[in-house]
Amino acid sequence: MQEHLPAVELDGIDRSYGSVHAVDGVSFKLEQGEIAALLGPNGAGKTTTLDIILGLGRPDHGRVAVLGMSPQNAIERGLVAAVLQTGGLLKDLTIRETVELTATLFAKSQPVDEVLKRAGIDGIAGRMVRKASGGEQQRLRFALALLPDPVLMVLDEPTAGMDVEGRRDFWNAIRSDAARGRTVLFATHYLEEADAYADRVILLRQGKIVADGTPVEVRSLSAGRSVRATLPNADEAKLSGLPGVRSIEVRGDRVLIQTTDSDAVARYLLTATAARDVEIVAQNLEEAFLTLTGEDGAKANPVGGAA
């Protein structure tokens, strides 16, 4: 059944440039309909991974399949499309002409007007590309990627260099498109983008996957969450015996518990003690990101795929 083919399947992908191991044994499976973020600092191997999925680059070892076929075959059939950092545009065409020209290259393509509209650039279709802002050019690249009506949309740091407004407009266009069921895989080093737009985060560090899960799971991976409560005469020994608890701090009547399983702690506090004013504070993704991608972060255990 074709519907059940994974959108992307990477199995033990390695890629070196000289002595630099850009991608080191990356494996993951992306199901159709998922919106996943490839998150990591510069040089983590995000672009190399995406290039391999798009057939622009080749892995030294490992297997890559896009909807069950090779990346080249998927590109030829318009099943996968991408918005790349490096994809250039011709300055001497208008926005509409660029879309018209690209549309002729596909065996079947969406109507030009519809694509312009969905990318939110129908109002500036007559503008020369050289006069379009960075954000408008990026939405044009998105329009080009929409032409073949791809099953999988790949975005490589799509909002790099955009102002806040451009970034918001761009993500609005992506989000309303993804709502129609398209699979999206995007690379970013903006944590808030991964948190806000992805339902799965794959965290890369030095070419390896260090975490893979929902934004919430990834966030709780490093230091987890802190649970605070008012609890006179807290039994520290009992609390530290709960699963996932890392540290306990008692300040008068207040206890502060760092844990990777805040649910267990909260349940215990509320059912077995007189605790009140229980607060659970999530560590934000930024902190998780820094912990997991920092020099000593590699030992964090990945959680299972979100699929």
Distance between CA atoms of 167 and 162, rounded to whole angstroms? 6
Residue 289 burial class via C-beta count within 10 angstroms: exposed 0-12, middle 13-18, buried 19 and up: buried
Q: Is the CB of 87 or the CB of 232 nearer to another protein?
A: 87
Q: What is the DSSP letter of 283?
A: P
Which range in 103-111, 186-194, 201-209, 262-270 contacts another protein by CB under 8 A? 103-111
Is 19 an interacting residue with respect to another protein (CB under 8 A)? no
Strand partners, 204: 209
Applying the rule CB under 8 A, the residues between 195 and 214 that interact with another protein are none
Q: Which of residues 124-183 bind another protein (CB under 8 A)?
A: 141, 144-145, 149, 151, 180-182
Binding window for another protein (CB under 8 A); candidates: 56-64, 200-208, 237-245, 263-271: 56-64
Instruction: Report the site for another protein in 59-98 (rule: CB under 8 A).
Output: 67-69, 74-79, 81-82, 84, 86-93, 97
Which residues have C-beta within 8 Å of that of residue 275, sequence separation ≥ 6?
Answer: 229, 230, 231, 255, 269
Structural contact between residues 247 and 259, judged by C-beta atoms closer than 8 angstroms = no
C-alpha span between 228 and 149 (Å, rounded)? 49
User: By C-alpha distance, which of 182, 190, 209, 179 is closest to 28?
Assistant: 209
Q: How many CA atoms lie less than 13 Å away from 195 in the CB half-sphere?
A: 15
Minimum distance between the CB of residue 102 and another protein, rounded to whole angstroms? 6
Contact 211, 290 (CB under 8 A): no
Residues 243-262 that bind another protein (CB under 8 A): none
For position 307 contacting another protein by CB under 8 A, the verdict is: no
304 counts as binding another protein under rule CB under 8 A: no
Among 61, 63, 108, 238, binds another protein (CB under 8 A): 108
By beta-carbon proximity to another protein, the closer residue of 23 and 285 is 23
Q: Which residues of this protein are in contact with another protein, per CB under 8 A?
A: 2-3, 5, 32, 54-58, 67-69, 74-79, 81-82, 84, 86-93, 97, 100-102, 104-108, 141, 144-145, 149, 151, 180-182
